[in-house]
């Protein structure tokens, strides 16, 4: 029992940490609770029940399935669900009519064929990357509704009435989700994407600062520079989350400083550049290994130019990141970039004069170069 207790306490701690890391998660949970309770009690109370019958249950179902963490995801799922239900419902009624036209005997065969064909085609279309990214949920609902309508049509004679009821309850559920997610402490996927990309660039800048301190021992605060070196790791694998956020951001209306047609796809391009930079940093990071022997004399010679490159690239990246956050033109970054470019020239001059014995530091050059490219792109975006 003691072991169990300590395990339980550990689990509790990690759950607490999840809430602390991002308090919006707690708010989101409460929002889902409110939406579900409202819709449930709506269904539970007599008046609505008399209006919609058992179909009211679909409003509850919709809320549970559709309510997501970000506004974009909720909107995307709601609209997908609504449109797919409408189209599939219409097609289902058509299919049912077609089947009855064939006479009672062949009805089952025709219905089976229709269901089979539609399910197979729709399932296959889910493999198309573009459809998978944006309409995956819609396709599932489409297959579902079509099957339910064609097959149950045989039982319930008032097919159109049923379809109408179901659609209106789904609209009630989806509307509740959309309103609550947009107006009560909204979590915008676009804002998240913006912050994520900006903070990723900042992490790269931090790394360069930490690297400078570690490698040339120029910083007094050992602990601080060590902590700066860790951040970039999360940039390496940021692709999946950036892409899903960008996909959701497209569904969102204008919010904060972003208009409806904000170029979200540009963020993915910056993300790609940031990752390329992070890959280079990953390589650079191996040279911090104390087991690699370095020639101190040589290190001293190139120290000045390299330190300048590091600190100027660092400042340029930080300027880009902060200008992204404030949505202004990164004019400060430009001068830092000029400085870092001139530092590269300086280093080249130094290298021409002396003969090299320890050359690991050249790996810094690509980092500076990438910073330059990154800068150019960012200017074009903001």
185 binds a second copy (CB under 8 A): no
Lookup result for tokens 């690297």? 211
User: Applying CB under 8 A, which of residues 93, 151, 350, 379 lies at the interface with a second copy?
Assistant: 151
Q: Could you give the C-alpha distances from 353 to 30, 272, 346, 350, 356, in angstroms and in order?
A: 67, 37, 11, 5, 9
d(CA 41, CA 169): 14
d(CA 152, CA 159): 8
Q: Could you give the C-alpha distances from 350 to 19, 215, 232, 256, in angstroms and in order?
A: 52, 19, 30, 49
Q: Which of 240, 255, 373, 261 has its CA nearest to residue 317?
A: 373
User: Applying CB under 8 A, which of residues 101, 117, 179, 265 lies at the interface with a second copy?
Assistant: 117
User: Applying CB under 8 A, which of residues 157, 220, 223, 357 lies at the interface with a second copy?
Assistant: 357
Measured from the CB atom, is 139 or 324 closer to a second copy? 139
Measured from the CB atom, is 349 or 359 closer to a second copy? 359
Q: What is the dihedral of CA 67, 72, 78, 83, to 10 degrees?
A: -160
229 binds a second copy (CB under 8 A): no
User: Applying CB under 8 A, which of residues 7, 10, 12, 15 lies at the interface with a second copy?
Assistant: 15
User: Applying CB under 8 A, which of residues 123, 218, 227, 335 lies at the interface with a second copy?
Assistant: 123
Count of residues engaged in binding a second copy, rule: CB under 8 A: 69
d(CA 200, CA 162): 50
CB of 327 to a second copy, least distance (A): 29
User: Applying CB under 8 A, which of residues 237, 326, 328, 331 lies at the interface with a second copy?
Assistant: 237
363 binds a second copy (CB under 8 A): yes
Residues 6 or more apart whose CB falls under 8 angstroms from that of 365 comprise 309, 344, 347
Residues 6 or more apart whose CB falls under 8 angstroms from that of 211 comprise 229, 281, 284, 285, 288, 310
Binding mask 274-313 for a second copy (x = CB under 8 A): -xx--xx-xx--x---------------------------
User: Applying CB under 8 A, which of residues 93, 115, 372, 377 lies at the interface with a second copy?
Assistant: 115
CB of 86 to a second copy, least distance (A): 17
Q: Which of 154, 198, 137, 219 has its CA nearest to residue 382?
A: 198
* Candidate ranges 106-114, 202-210, 212-220, 324-332; the one touching a second copy (CB under 8 A): 106-114
* Candidate ranges 141-149, 186-194, 201-209, 307-315; the one touching a second copy (CB under 8 A): 141-149
224 alpha-carbon distance from chain centroid? 30
d(CA 37, CA 87): 29
Evaluated on CA atoms 115, 116, 120, 121, the torsion sign reads negative
112 binds a second copy (CB under 8 A): yes
CB of 325 to a second copy, least distance (A): 25
98 binds a second copy (CB under 8 A): no
Measured from the CB atom, is 76 or 323 closer to a second copy? 76
CB of 44 to a second copy, least distance (A): 5
Beta bridge mates, 258: 255
Q: Could you give the C-alpha distances from 282 to 202, 207, 226, 232, 285, in angstroms and in order?
A: 16, 10, 15, 8, 5
User: Applying CB under 8 A, which of residues 83, 86, 133, 148 lies at the interface with a second copy?
Assistant: 148
Residue numbers at the binding site for a second copy (CB under 8 A): 14-15, 18-19, 25-26, 28-30, 32-34, 36-37, 40-41, 43-45, 49, 54, 57, 60-61, 64-65, 108, 111-112, 115-117, 119-121, 123-125, 127-128, 140, 143-144, 147-148, 150-152, 154-155, 236-237, 239-240, 275-276, 279-280, 282-283, 286, 355-357, 359-360, 362-363, 366
């Amino acid at each position: 029992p003691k072991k169990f207790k300590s395990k339980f306490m550990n689990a509790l701690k990690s759950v607490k940490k999840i809430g602390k890391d991002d308090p919006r998660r707690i708010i989101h949970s409460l929002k889902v609770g409110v939406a579900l309770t409202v819709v449930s009690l709506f269904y539970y109370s007599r008046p609505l029940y008399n209006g919609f019958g058992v179909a009211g249950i679909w409003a509850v179902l919709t809320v549970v399935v559709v309510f997501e963490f970000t506004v974009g995801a909720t909107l995307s799922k709601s609209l997908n669900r609504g449109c797919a239900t409408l189209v599939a419902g219409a097609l289902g009624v058509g299919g049912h009519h077609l089947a009855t036209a064939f006479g009672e005997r062949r009805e089952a065969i025709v219905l089976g064929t229709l269901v089979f064909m539609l399910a197979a085609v729709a399932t296959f279309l889910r493999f198309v990357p573009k459809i998978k990214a944006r309409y995956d949920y819609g396709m599932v609902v489409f297959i579902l509704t079509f099957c339910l309508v064609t097959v149950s049509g045989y039982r319930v004679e008032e097919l159109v009435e049923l379809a109408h009821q179901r659609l209106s309850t789904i609209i009630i559920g989806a509307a509740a989700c959309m309103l609550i997610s947009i107006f009560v402490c909204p979590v915008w996927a676009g804002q998240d994407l913006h912050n994520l990309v900006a903070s990723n660039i900042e992490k790269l800048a931090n790394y360069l600062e930490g690297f400078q301190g570690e490698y040339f021992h120029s910083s007094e605060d050992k602990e601080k520079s060590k902590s700066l070196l860790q951040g970039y790791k999360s940039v390496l694998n940021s692709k999946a989350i950036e892409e899903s956020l960008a996909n959701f951001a497209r569904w969102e209306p204008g919010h904060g400083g972003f208009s409806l047609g904000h170029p979200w796809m540009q963020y993915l391009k910056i993300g790609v550049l940031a990752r390329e930079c992070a890959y280079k940093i990953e390589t650079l990071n191996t040279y911090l290994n104390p087991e690699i022997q370095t020639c101190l004399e040589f290190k001293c010679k190139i120290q000045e130019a390299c330190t300048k490159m590091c600190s100027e690239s660092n400042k340029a990246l930080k300027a880009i990141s902060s200008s992204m956050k404030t949505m202004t033109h990164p004019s400060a970054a430009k001068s830092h970039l000029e400085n870092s470019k001139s530092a590269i020239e300086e280093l080249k001059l130094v290298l021409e004069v002396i003969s090299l014995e320890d050359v690991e530091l050249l790996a810094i050059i690509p980092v500076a170069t990438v910073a330059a490219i990154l800068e150019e792109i960012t200017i074009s975006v903001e």
